[in-house]
Amino acid sequence: MGYAFDETMSGTMTLAGSSEEVPFTFSVHVRSKRGKATMEGVVEAPGLAVHAPCEGTMVLSPFRQRVVKYDLSWKGDDGKRYRFTGQKDIRWMDALRTWTTLPGEIRDETGALVATCSTRFDYRADWMQFLTSWKPA
C-alpha cells in the first residue's frame, strides 16, 4: 500500500544569461509506492509556461539515501518541452530547512540549461493543506 499527498513549491528562477529572478512555482499531486512516486500538477514559470500541466517522478529516500529527488516535465508556451530537476538533501540536524528547500534547474528538450531555481515549501501558509492532503493510495 502506498500514499498520496499534495505539495506546492514556490520560489524563483534565474534565466540563463540573466541575473533577474522571476517567480517559479509548481503544485503537484504525488502518488507513492515503495519510495518511488509519480507527480501530476501545474507549473507557473513566467516566460516559459503559464499554468502548464506537468508530470514526473519523485524519489523519496529520506532515511537511507537522505534525499528527495524531483523530476518534472511540461510543454512550454512556445511548444517546446522543459524539464525541472531538483533535490532536497536531508540533514536531520537541520530538518526544517532541508525538508523545505529545493534547489534545481530547468533544461530544454536539447538539454541546454534554461534556468536555475530556488524553491521552498511555505510551511507557515501551506502546512495544514499539506498535512490534510495525505491519504492511503
Judge whether 115 lies within some domain. no
pLDDT value for 16: 95
pLDDT value for 35: 61
Judge whether 134 lies within some domain. no
Judge whether 117 lies within some domain. no
Judge whether 31 lies within some domain. yes
pLDDT value for 73: 98
Judge whether 60 lies within some domain. yes
pLDDT value for 37: 94
Please list the ranges in the chain whose pLDDT falls under 50.
none
pTM for this entry: 0.92
How many folded domains does the chain comprise? 1
Judge whether 95 lies within some domain. yes
Beta strands, E only, 62-112? 67-75, 81-89, 101-108
Which long-range contacts does 63-71 make (Cβ < 8 Å, 24+ apart)? 66/90, 66/91, 66/92, 68/99, 70/39, 70/102, 70/104
Judge whether 40 lies within some domain. yes
